[in-house]
Amino acid sequence: MKAPVNRQNKMLRSGFSLIELLIVIVILGGLVAVVAPGLMDSADQAKRDTVCLKMNDLKKRLDMFKLDNGIYPDTEEGFNALLNNPDPDKYPNYRTKPYLKKLPKDSWKTPFVYINKGDSVEIISFGADRKEGGEENGRDILFSECNK
């Protein structure tokens, strides 16, 4: 004949104790604290790399504009000159189709900044803080520094 099973013993064996749960939570918290910063740094670097790729594409389109028209658009005309011919008299060789269909934005959904430096151009993203200047992940991204 089987020995009667104590109902209280059965309940104790069917789950984890509070101490066991707390130990698991502390271990998981420690793992998150160690792993999460590395993942965040990787995500931020991926966004910065994506910005450089978009800038590279913009630079190629600006180079096509210059090849067709002899000069880069003025700073005031900016990237809008890649969407529509800003001055048919100034740019008589403008293509029939625009150089861009729409203006791209950086990884933080902010428009790029364009500066004409005469025979060269600078393309700038204000970074994660969306403001000029900044440090670490908030620092500006310059096209001239992307390939270094």
Query: Which tens digit of pLDDT belongs to each residue from 12-63?
Result: 556 678 888 888 888 888 888 777 666 666 778 888 899 999 999 999 999 9
| Domains along the sequence of the chain with CATH | 23-145 (3.30.700.10)
pTM recorded for the entire structure:
0.71
Mean pLDDT of the chain: 86
Rounded mean pLDDT of 110-138?
A: 90
pLDDT score for 2? 57
Q: Are 81 and 73 in contact (CB under 8 A)?
A: yes
Structure tokens at 12: 């104790």
Cβ-count burial 39-73 (b if 16+ within 10 Å, e if not): eeeeebeebbeebbebbeebbeebeebeeebeebb
User: Does the pLDDT of residue 73 top 90, yes or no?
Assistant: yes
- What pLDDT is attached to residue 51? 94
3-state secondary structure (DSSP) of residue 32: helix
